[in-house]
Structure 1
Amino acid sequence: MNGSSGRTTVISRTVARIVVPIILVTAIALLFRGHNLPGGGFIGAVLAAAAFALVYIIFGLEFIQREVLAIKPDGSEQHRLVETYRWMASLGLAIAVGSSLAPLAFGAPFLTQGVLFLEHLPLYGELEVASAFAFDLGVFFAVVGGLLTIVAEVGNE
């Protein structure tokens, strides 16, 4: 069975193994381009949560605990999994709020974006680092944690 719930087919498990990495790469690409182009933390997080939900549906809770989160079985796995997701959502909220309030310390308005250009980098040339990425990253973690908490709670019912 290889960690699957036994209710899925070989085709669905194979498709999931192919599709989930593509969804996650797309989610990360949307996260990284969000401060300049359409995309960002929210839509990237929705895609990432969809990928994890697909893994949860196809392979089961035990696979996520054992292979993704490295949780050893001890009888309280569902509770520990939900606590991990809640912690992720809380961390994301803290990052988003912190990055929103940081400009106030420098006398700038709330949510002001700063940009740093790193030039003459080996193999890359120039890199633009925007402070809006920290906000997008916080939103990403908050949404992924929130959605996966919902999926885990509903899946437990």
Structure 2
Amino acid sequence: MQTTVRVTVPIVLVLSIWLFLQGHNLPGGGFIGGVLTTTAFVLIYVAYDLDYLESEVLDREVDPGASVYGHRMVTAYRRALITGLVVVLGSGVAGIVVGDPFLTQTYVHLGGVPIYHDIELASALVFDLGVYLVVVGSILTVVSVVSAE
């Protein structure tokens, strides 16, 4: 299982980033990218445990006596959820600030970008980032708390 996870997780994470970046023009985006990122974390949790990311990947000391609600990874997931909500609301209010309706989206063409030449940058990408953070933060908080019980 651990060998499979070492091969599978990077592939899932790259696919989630690709779907996230394609989402402002095509189906996908923040929600499905967040679900796939969460899937990669769940695979790590199944193969190892909740403390593996903190102790081995982030090289932090784990407090064995702390409850799951005080666990630093769970706190980071909750912060991601709150940050995502702020980004989603901020992207919606940005339209109101310039005199457009709530959640109005716009785009800009950038020319002369190396390799890509011409890129269309949509403000929907900011909204998708907020959705991505909400999905990752909420699902991983639930999975971490439930798995610790």
Task: Please tell me the TM-score bracket, short chain as reference.
Answer: over 0.9
- Provide the rounded CA distance (Å) in 2 between the counterparts of 1:134 and 1:102: 11
Aligned to 1:155: 147
Does the 8 A contact of 1:115 with 1:128 survive in 2? yes
TM-score (norm 1): 0.88
Aligned residue type for 2:86: A
Which residue is equivalent to 1:134? Answer: 126
**Which residue number corresponds to residue 25 of structure 1?**
14
**Residue number among 86, 103, 116 corresponding to 1:111 in the alignment:** 103
Cα deviation 1:71-98 (Å, max 9, x = unaligned): 3223437322211110110001111110
Equivalent residues of 1:86, 1:149 under 8 A apart: yes
Give the corresponding residue for 1:64.
Answer: 53
Post-superposition CA distance 1:38-88 (Å, at most 9, x none): 101011101100110110110112211123444322343732221111011
Q: CA 1:116–1:67 in 2, change beyond 3 Å: closer, same or farther?
A: farther
| Secondary structure class of the residue paired with 1:20 | helix
Structure 2 residues not aligned, in runs of 5+: none
When residues 67 and 127 of structure 1 are mapped into structure 2, their CA distance, relative to the original with a 3 A threshold, is farther
CA separation in 2, counterparts of 1:141 and 1:68?
20
User: Aligned partners of 1:83, 1:115: CA distance in 2, in Å?
Assistant: 34
Superposition deviation, residue 19 in structure 1:
0.6
Where does residue 120 of structure 1 map in the other structure?
A: 112
Match of 1:84 in 2: 76
Which TM-score applies when normalising by structure 2?
Answer: 0.92
Q: Distance in 2 between matches of 1:92 and 1:101?
A: 14
2:108 counterpart SS class: strand
The answer on 1:143 being equivalent to 2:122 is: no
What is the aligned length? 146
**SS in structure 2 opposite 1:35?**
coil
Residue 45 of structure 1 is matched in structure 2 by 34
Q: What runs of 5+ residues in structure 1 fail to find an aligned partner?
A: 1-11
C-alpha RMSD of matched pairs (Å): 1.3
